[in-house]
Chain A
Amino acid sequence: QVQLQESGPGLVKPSQTLSLTCTVSGGSISSGGYYWSWIRQHPGKGLEWIGYIYYSGSTYYNPSLKSRVTISVDTSKNQFSLKLSSVTAADTAVYYCARTHTRYFDYWGQGTLVTVSS
């Protein structure tokens, strides 16, 4: 059974960079066949796809965030990461990592709340 776990700071100051890591267990990122996604949910709101990465490093980003987002992968650690620069209060959200099979999100991490505040 694949499991995903997000980790990273729960509080980030405005204008700084949000950094999160997703550790995958029960399956290898480098085995291929899946993309690995980041998705966020603003408090009490709906879901927003941020982007995803393949084990080879190829990425797809949401154009609304593309100028500020970097998703990277470390196959040796079976992890992938999210960096979101120049954050504002509007970036306060629960951030989820998820495995992506044929563009559908079939396994999710539990989510981590990131608050942007000074």
Chain B
Amino acid sequence: DIQMTQSPSSVSASVGDRVTITCRASQGISSWLAWYQQKPGKAPKLLIYAASSLQSGVPSRFSGSGSGTDFTLTISSLQPEDFATYYCQQANSFPHTFGGGTKVEIK
């Protein structure tokens, strides 16, 4: 299985801050990567697919980059509604696997 490692596991930030989350795959996955946002008690929400494509309806302050083994999710200006846990997911091969999550907390 491809292991997905996210860092940091948590980050404290203030509204307006730029936040960057990293995801590393244990082997190359080309651009087969997605990012999800999950709020407590809710289902995950797809933000980014194919490493850098913004899902319809997702604010443009979210962006993704990377290919191969190293990927980044950036929130350019953190908003109150962005405090949540973020997961990456590889879709290159079976089984599809997720990272352990990064919790974005209020500073």
Contact = CB atoms under 8 A, between A and B. Distances in A.
Interface string B30-51: 0010101000001111100110
Given A102-B49, A104-B89, A108-B44, A60 B94 contact: yes
A98 to B, nearest CB: 8
B46 A105 contact: yes
B44 A63 contact: no
Nearest to B99: A46
Contact of B96 (A46, A64, A103, A111): A103
Contacts of B36: 47, 105
B88 to A, nearest CB: 10
Most buried by B among A103, A104, A108: A104
Interface residues of B, number: 23
Contact of B43 (A46, A48, A49, A110): A110
Interface string A44-59: 0011110000000000
Contacts of A47: 36, 44, 87, 89, 98
B68 interface: no
B101 interface: yes
Interface of B: 1, 32, 34, 36, 42-46, 49-50, 55, 87, 89, 91, 94-101
21 contacts: A46-B101, A47-B44, A47-B98, A49-B95, A49-B96, A49-B98, A62-B94, A64-B1, A64-B95, A96-B43, A96-B44, A103-B96, A104-B34, A104-B49, A104-B50, A105-B36, A105-B89, A106-B55, A108-B43, A108-B44, A110-B43
Given A47-B87, A47-B89, A102-B49, 8 more contacts: A46-B101, A49-B96, A64-B95, A102-B50, A103-B32, A104-B50, A106-B49, A110-B43
